[in-house]
């Protein structure tokens, strides 16, 4: 460094802009990291609380205080199958009333994650709810609507010790012309509708083995 530069004030030296930008960058990155960490935890807490509420709603259990109700009515259970741990929820309302399983299947544009609730005898669907999906907005994404999801409520999925495959019919089909194993598909979204039906069947087949029921498929 020349003698002239040594005599210059710091803010007039050639390297000052570099050091200034570097310090600002460090401060900016630090602030962003703090905000991200704080926000990430809030997002995760919201996700957990939402899923707990979904599980309670499947059995029409109280959700005014989600944490307290979940602790009272839900117990996380675990089984080991082929060396892998399989987790599910057992639901209580004074006594055991059913189970909730977290299931996954392939949608048209990505994975579909959902909760599937069944009765304690493992023969009837109590309820079904979507956790996440990437289907087409306004079409396949309608699998999240109650009018579609609620069709699975109280559906028997076992007949003579064999799993029942649900089939799709037109959305305009009158209820009087439908059989017990039929589901109204979403108009314009046959692939997404079929993806849900297939996911439920395949997952029930897998879960029945893990739970020791082993229904025929």
Angle between the N-to-C axes of helices 16-58 and 66-73, in degrees from 0 to 180, rounded to the nearest 10: 50
Apex CA 172: angle with CA 166 and CA 174, to 5°?
75
> Cβ(163)–Cβ(216) under 8 Å?
yes
Within a domain: 162: yes
Write out pLDDT tens, residues 132-188. Answer: 999 999 999 999 999 999 999 999 999 988 999 999 999 999 999 999 899 999 999
Q: What integer pLDDT is reported at residue 83 of this predicted model? A: 87
Write out pLDDT tens, residues 76-107. Answer: 999 988 888 999 999 999 899 999 999 999 99
Within a domain: 22: no
Q: What DSSP state is assigned to residue 124?
A: B
Within a domain: 171: yes
Within a domain: 140: yes
Percentage with pLDDT > 70 across the chain: 93
Q: What integer pLDDT is reported at residue 16 of this predicted model? A: 65
Within a domain: 13: no
> Cβ(193)–Cβ(168) under 8 Å?
yes
List the domain range (segments joined by +) for residue 89.
80-210
Within a domain: 54: no
pLDDT > 70? residue 43: yes
pLDDT > 80? residue 15: no
Within a domain: 170: yes
Total structural domains in the chain? Answer: 1
């Amino acid at each position: 460094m020349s003698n002239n530069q040594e005599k210059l004030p710091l803010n007039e030296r050639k390297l000052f802009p570099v050091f200034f930008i570097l310090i600002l960058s460090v401060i900016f990155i630090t602030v962003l990291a703090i905000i991200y960490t704080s926000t990430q935890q809030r997002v995760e807490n919201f996700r957990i609380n939402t899923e707990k509420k979904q599980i309670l709603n499947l059995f029409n259990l109280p959700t005014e205080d989600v944490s307290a109700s979940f602790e009272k009515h839900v117990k996380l259970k675990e089984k080991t199958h082929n060396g892998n741990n399989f987790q599910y929820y057992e639901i209580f309302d004074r006594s055991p009333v059913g189970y909730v399983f977290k299931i996954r299947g392939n949608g048209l544009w990505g994975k579909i994650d959902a909760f599937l609730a069944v009765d304690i005898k493992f023969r009837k669907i109590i309820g079904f709810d979507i956790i996440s999906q990437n289907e087409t907005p306004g079409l396949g994404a309608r699998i999240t609507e109650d009018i579609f999801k609620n069709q699975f409520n109280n559906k028997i999925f076992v007949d003579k010790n064999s799993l029942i495959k649900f089939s799709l019919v037109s959305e305009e089909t009158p209820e009087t012309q439908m059989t017990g194993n039929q589901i109204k598909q979403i108009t314009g979204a046959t692939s997404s509708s079929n993806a849900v039906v297939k996911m439920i069947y395949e997952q029930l087949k897998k879960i029945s083995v893990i739970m020791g029921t082993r229904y025929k498929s």
